[in-house]
Amino acid sequence: MDKPFAITLDPGSSLANHTGSWRTRKPVYLDRLPPCNAGCPAGENIQGWLFHAEAGNYEQAWRLLTQDNPLPAIMGRVCYHPCEGACNRGQFDSAVGINSVERFLGDEAIKRGWKFGKPGMTSGKRVLVVGAGPSGLSVAYHLARLGHSVEIHEAGPLSGGMMRFGIPKYRLPRNVLDAEVARILDTWVTLRLNTKVANIEDSMRAGNFDASFLAVGAHIGKRAYIPAGDAARIVDAVSVLRSMEGEDQPMLGRRVVVYGGGNTAIDAARTAKRLGATETIIVYRRTREKMPAHDFEVEEALQEGVMIKWLSTIKHADEHSLTIEKMKLDDKGFPQPTGEFETIESDSLVLALGQDVDLSLLQGVSGLEIKDGTVQVGSNMMTGHKGIFAGGDMVPSERTVTVAVGHGKKAAHHIDAWLRGAIYEPAPKHEPVTYDMLNQWYYSDAPKTVRPMLDAIRRQSGFDEVQGGLDETNALFEARRCMSCGNCFECDNCYGVCPDNAVIKLGPGKRFRFNYDYCKGCGICVSECPCGAIKMVAEEI
């Protein structure tokens, strides 16, 4: 009998590490960064908690979500969900209703009484947080979980900051706000209301604090010079919204004009309608395409009978009327006066031209840089003064609840490291996954579930919540629409299509591995993976 045929390769040969001369590339499993996670200003592991939600493990989903964001029931109502704008499924049929599922989990936690765990250790360090808004509550929560003693000083009589005093009840019911704040305070965070910090250094010395985080909201409405008669009633939108939390609601009259184009202008106009205004008009100097307010909020306002005068500006205010000048866009798209005027009737003018932050607590503090009404901070969220950090409305950024919560989380990690004499280095991010990396044949059309809305007529006469939440059936369906972009969910496709039996199952939750002794590098597993969790790499030679 002839001896078996065999080839011995020189270790330096280009074929030494190949399964035959045909394999110059091999498949590898990897985790990619899904666009929803990448687009979340709060830094949530959205795909991670959706995975638990789609399995019906709601408490596990909520606990993973709240590792990053302690306010899911609030965020599920007021976040403008940039995650959904980034969702790859939006290119297939419609984006996953991430915000809807987040609200469902947040409401479920309140209903079932889920609590955060107590920190298992204490560091002996004390941190002062100034302001009980979203950024202050977020940093306090994360610092407490890291074992530090946290005390929040809030100048106002109630917690919540601009979530309470800037967002109307029809968008954020106060029982939801109170429930999520109370849960944070249960993690051994101390809240002192009606405690204004006049000077941050004095307060830190008096309380023996090792570090501080400044989270004062933008509560001061900006003014504009508008020639007005003595009897003209001009108020700012922030004051109007703030007064809604008291017993004496503002008297705006039957004909209300709101000047501005942001979300605060929309909120003020919709609030005026609910207070009994028969005619509410928003005056905005540019077009709808340039309006900074979110389009869905503009649409809801129009549904409720709010009128909008585009390309208009206010030139004069009298007791019962306003003089409006029409504008036109120049060749660069900027509004220019036309010299054409009209008069509209008005009982009050509400200015919604932006807000400023009260920075008086920083007077005399060395090393700070203040620019355009905000405090400049480094990448670690620390100001130019050692041990004083800042976030939310106080620093240059987009002013939303989600961004503020993200600032709190980020600052907490840096404060923790600074207190320990270390530097916080966040874990490197995975490479992103794009729509073209997905295998669309695996998915079937499943349009996004639309949340129920209160009837437009009922919305105009009260402050009941406008947008409803999903029930469990719809929330489960919506979570299951997630494509798990870039991360293996053990569908077994690679295992089933491999012609060489080179894919080895490792058991539930453990995914797979390749047996490269059998793999010939054909790449079928890559092309058939529905979520882009496998890629071909060059063979090591």
Distance spanning both ends of the chain, measured CA to CA: 36
Phi-psi region of 233 (alpha: psi -120 to 50; beta: other; left: phi over 0): beta
**DSSP code for 322:** E
Query: What's the pLDDT at 457?
Result: 86
Confirm if 227 and 320 have CB atoms less than 8 A apart: no
Question: Which amino acid, one-letter code, is at 248?
Answer: D
- 13 pLDDT exceeds 70? no
Question: What value does the mean pLDDT take over residues 406-416?
Answer: 98
| Cα–Cα distance list, 446 to 40, 93, 105, 441, 518 (Å) | 23, 7, 21, 13, 38
Confirm if 130 and 216 have CB atoms less than 8 A apart: yes
Strand order through the sheet with 211-214:
189-192, 149-153, 126-130, 211-214, 388-390
Confirm if 214 and 389 have CB atoms less than 8 A apart: yes
Q: Give the rounded percent of residues in the chain with a pLDDT score beyond 90.
A: 85
Q: What is the Cα–Cα distance from 500 to 482, expressed in whole angstroms?
A: 30
Query: What's the pLDDT at 234?
Result: 92
* Token digits of residue 225: 């010079």
Rg (CA), the chain: 28
Q: Are both 1-31+488-541 and 226-232+246-352 of the same fold?
A: no
Confirm if 539 and 521 have CB atoms less than 8 A apart: yes
Count of alpha carbons within 13 Å of 500, Cβ hemisphere only? 16
Alpha helices in 486-537 (DSSP H): 493-497, 524-528
**276-307: pLDDT as tens digits:** 999 999 999 999 999 999 999 999 999 999 99
Parallel, antiparallel or unpaired: strands 348-351 and 255-259: parallel
Domain 35-219+357-482 CATH class label: alpha beta
Q: Which residue has the tokens 């003693």?
A: 149
78-81 long-range contacts (CB < 8 A, ≥24 apart) are 78/163, 78/167, 78/171, 78/172, 78/401, 79/400, 79/401, 79/402, 80/294, 80/400, 80/402
**142-191: pLDDT as tens digits:** 999 999 999 999 999 999 999 999 999 999 999 999 999 999 999 889 99
- 512 pLDDT exceeds 60? yes
Q: What is the Cα–Cα distance from 100 to 105, expressed in whole angstroms?
A: 9
The residues, ordered by sequence, that sit 6+ positions from 394 with a Cβ below 8 Å of its Cβ are 214, 215, 216, 357, 359, 374, 375
Measured in whole angstroms, the distance separating CA 52 from the mean position of its chain's CA atoms is 20
Q: What is the Cα–Cα distance from 146 to 323, expressed in whole angstroms?
A: 57
Q: What is the Cα–Cα distance from 5 to 213, expressed in whole angstroms?
A: 74
**184-239: pLDDT as tens digits:** 999 889 999 999 999 999 999 999 999 999 999 998 888 888 888 877 899 999 99
Counting beta carbons within 10 angstroms of the beta carbon of residue 371, is it exposed (0 to 12), middle (13 to 18) or buried (19 or more)? exposed
Q: What is the Cα–Cα distance from 39 to 95, expressed in whole angstroms?
A: 13
Between vectors from CA 143 to CA 142 and to CA 149, what angle results, nearest 5°? 140
Question: What value does the mean pLDDT take over residues 21-49?
Answer: 93
Under CATH, which number does the domain 1-31+488-541 receive? 3.30.70.20
Measured in whole angstroms, the distance separating CA 286 from the mean position of its chain's CA atoms is 27
66-70 long-range contacts (CB < 8 A, ≥24 apart) are 66/116, 68/42, 68/43, 68/44, 68/409, 69/42, 69/43, 69/44, 69/138, 69/405, 69/409, 70/116, 70/137, 70/138, 70/141, 70/180, 70/183, 70/184, 70/405
Q: Give the rounded percent of residues in the chain with a pLDDT score beyond 70.
A: 96
Confirm if 451 and 469 have CB atoms less than 8 A apart: yes
Query: What's the pLDDT at 1?
Result: 40
Parallel, antiparallel or unpaired: strands 307-309 and 279-283: parallel
DSSP string across 396-463: SS---HHHHHHHHHHHHHHHHHHHTT----PPPPPPB--GGGS-GGG----PPPPPPB--HHHHTT--
- 446 pLDDT exceeds 90? no
pLDDT band at residue 247 under the 50/70/90 scheme:
confident
**SS3 of 78, please?**
helix
Which CATH code, of 3.50.50.60, 3.40.50.2300, 3.40.120.10, 3.40.630.30, is assigned to 226-232+246-352?
3.50.50.60
* Token digits of residue 3: 């001896």
Alpha helices in 56-133 (DSSP H): 58-65, 72-78, 82-86, 98-112
The residues, ordered by sequence, that sit 6+ positions from 59 with a Cβ below 8 Å of its Cβ are 109, 112, 114
Domain extent listing, the chain = 1-31+488-541, 35-219+357-482, 226-232+246-352
pLDDT band at residue 3 under the 50/70/90 scheme:
very low
**45-88: pLDDT as tens digits:** 999 999 999 999 999 999 999 999 999 999 999 999 999 999 99
